């Protein structure tokens, strides 16, 4: 998913360690934006258990992934002292 988005928008290029198969965005942790249901964002829950340590936002256009229309696309979470994100 991130590789596909990074091809479309450089804001999605992140360190290769976070593109490995161990890092995941659980489908249950994806939410739709209240003001635009085509915008989806991740809500990592246990960053120490290999949830993607970023809040990720993207758009669904006709069933395909597209870059987020806002300036916010991907933002790293400082997980050094975080056990749970709610």
Binning pLDDT at 50, 70 and 90, where does residue 20 land?
low
Residue 67 lies in a domain: yes
Give the number of domains in the chain: 1
Q: Flag whether pLDDT at 70 surpasses 70.
A: yes
Residue 41 lies in a domain: yes
Binning pLDDT at 50, 70 and 90, where does residue 36 land?
confident
Q: Flag whether pLDDT at 11 surpasses 70.
A: yes
Instruction: Name the token pair of 16.
Output: 């290769």
Proportion of the chain above pLDDT 70, given as a percent: 65
The domain of 56 spans 2-76
CA-CA distance, 74 to 79, in Å (whole number)? 15
**Angle ∠(18,22,23) on CA atoms, nearest 5:** 40
The set of long-range contacts for 36-43, using a CB threshold of 8 Å and a minimum separation of 24, is 36/69, 39/68, 39/69, 39/70, 43/85
Instruction: Name the token pair of 34.
Output: 């209240």
């Amino acid at each position: 998913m991130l590789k596909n988005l990074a091809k479309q928008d450089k804001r999605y290029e992140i360190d290769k360690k976070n593109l490995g198969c161990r890092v995941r965005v659980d489908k249950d942790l994806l939410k739709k934006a209240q003001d635009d249901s085509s915008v989806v964002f991740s809500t990592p829950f246990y960053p120490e258990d290999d949830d993607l340590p970023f809040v990720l936002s993207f758009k669904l256009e006709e069933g395909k992934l597209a870059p987020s229309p806002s300036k916010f696309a991907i933002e790293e979470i400082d997980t050094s002292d975080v056990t749970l994100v709610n």
